[in-house]
Amino acid sequence: MSSDVTAAPPPAPAPEPARGPRGERLRPYLTAGSFLLPAIALLGIWIVYPTVWTVIRSFFDRAGDTFVGIDNYREIFTNDTLLKAVTNNLIWVAVVPALVTALGLIFAVMTERISWSAAFKLVVFMPIAISLFAAGITWRLMLDFDPQRGTVNAAIASVVDTVRPPGPLTGARPAGAEVVQQGGAILLREPLQPGQAALLGLTAIRAAEVPEDAVQAVQPTAPPDGIAGVVWRDFRPGGGEQGVVEPDELGIPGVTVEIRGPDGATRSTTTAPDGTFVFEDLEPRGAYTVGIGSDTFRRGYGGVEWLGSSLVTLSAIIAYIWVWAGFAMVVIAAGLAALPRDLLEAARTDGASEWQVFRRITVPLLAPVLTVVFITMLINVLKVFDIVLAVAPASVQDDAAVIALSMWRVAFTGASDFGLGSAIAVLLFVLVIPILALNIRRFRREQT
């Protein structure tokens, strides 16, 4: 950088001065060289040399002193964990570039119709500034399994629980041998006849689920033409005997009890504060099934296991799209702004619908921009690393792994296998080469 090659400049009489006089043939090399040297040195030492080194290293074993041919490459496609990483990366490649480009296009077109498009773009574009790693952490928080904490599951739960509210006694279990659980419902083992009493004892009821107006449970007495019963918390400190109403055991009010008669007809009633209920006017000698329906015991929505082994890749993809959709939108919006307005207007005046304008004019004219976005995303997605590392908990990193992440894990954690790690890096490189060729072709075309 300090080399001083500036000799006295040649007097330039002609309007075409750039060429120096004879005898200074080296001059262009020297001047250009002094400008280029730092860049060439840095690129040479940090990119070109390592690239060559890594390619060679990938044919040697872990220690680096035995030539193993293509064994490392074979390992990539036979080792289950590595194969999983390659397949995962294929999923990323198949899904993300197309989705990000499509979302960007949709957002870009939609923002043309609102007055606050600048604000919208800012909001959606913003995640591009934060690290993929921090974005991953943010989404790991959003996708927490527990609907108490995970935002996404909480949102789903609030919808599901509104449509199908959880029952008042979510965890209750039958107490005693006479009461059984059947497909979510709890009922008496034996059908009853009018005149008999139904003792529906329950345990494992959380204190918070006992209604405030509950009072001491009462042993029911059935009328001759009916069935009376009690639903109660068959548990008291110290245990007590199951199937028997004892002091200090509370009745459970507000529970819907159902009976089904011999004709198959169902009737229902609700329990009183002491837990009792009664059905009257029953068939004298019919057998009645008595029980509490499954609605009473239905649990609240449990949540989707976003960070479990089967969905973790999808979760990382969601986080990644959150980061990159804004990029696609901004680039495409810039392309959109450069479209000839007259053409679009002319089509509209000729009676083309908005969809036709979009499909037949906007998209074809935008094709070059869409291609740039798509290719950029393709390269990015092949190298995806940080976001997977952040989103996937340690226990499912094998299931979430992608090529770049496996390379790092193989080479720098655990086994520290530089041979295999190099082979994975080369695979990654080979995958981006076609895209590189595409880029160079595009550049060449622009030059001419």
CB of 98 to other proteins, least distance (A): 17
Tell me how far, at minimum, the Cβ of 93 lies from other proteins, in Å: 14
Rg of the chain over CA atoms, in angstroms? 36
CB of 383 to other proteins, least distance (A): 5
Q: Which of 83, 149, 94, 146 is nearest to 317 (CA)?
A: 94
Pairwise CA distance, residues 67 & 354, whole Å: 63
Report the side by side order of strands in the sheet with 173-174: 173-174, 197-203, 227-233, 276-279
Minimum CB distance to other proteins smaller for 214 or for 321: 321
CB-wise, 137 or 217, nearer to other proteins?
137
Which neighbouring-strand residues pair with 218? none
Nearest-approach distance from CB 68 to other proteins, in angstroms? 16
Structure-token match 């921090």, residue found: 134
Q: Between vectors from CA 301 to CA 300 and to CA 305, what angle results, nearest 5°?
A: 140
DSSP state letter for 60: B
- Our CB check for other proteins shows the closer of 255 and 391 to be 391
Min separation Cβ 263 and other proteins, Å: 50
Q: How far is the CB of 23 from other proteins (least distance, A)?
A: 17
Distance CA 410, CA 423 (A): 10
Query: How far is the C-alpha of 270 from the C-alpha of 292, rounded, in Å?
Result: 10
The distance of closest approach from Cβ of residue 135 to other proteins in the complex, given in angstroms and rounded to an integer, is 8
Distance CA 334, CA 336 (A): 5
Torsion angles phi and psi, residue 257, rounded to 5: -105, 140
Label residue 8 exposed, middle or buried (CB < 10 Å: 0-12, 13-18, 19+): exposed
Q: What minimum distance in Å lies between the beta carbon of 170 and other proteins? A: 18
Closest CA to 176 of 257, 213, 230, 248: 230
- How distant, in Å, are the alpha carbons of 108, 286, 362 from that of 265? 60, 12, 63
Choice between 262 and 434, CB closer to other proteins? 434
**Cα separation of 284 and 18, whole Å?**
117
CB nearer other proteins, residue 113 or residue 285: 113
What are the beta bridge partners of residue 268? 258
CB-wise, 142 or 250, nearer to other proteins? 142
* Closer of 358 and 429 to other proteins (Cβ): 429
| Residue whose CB is less far from other proteins, 185 or 375 | 375
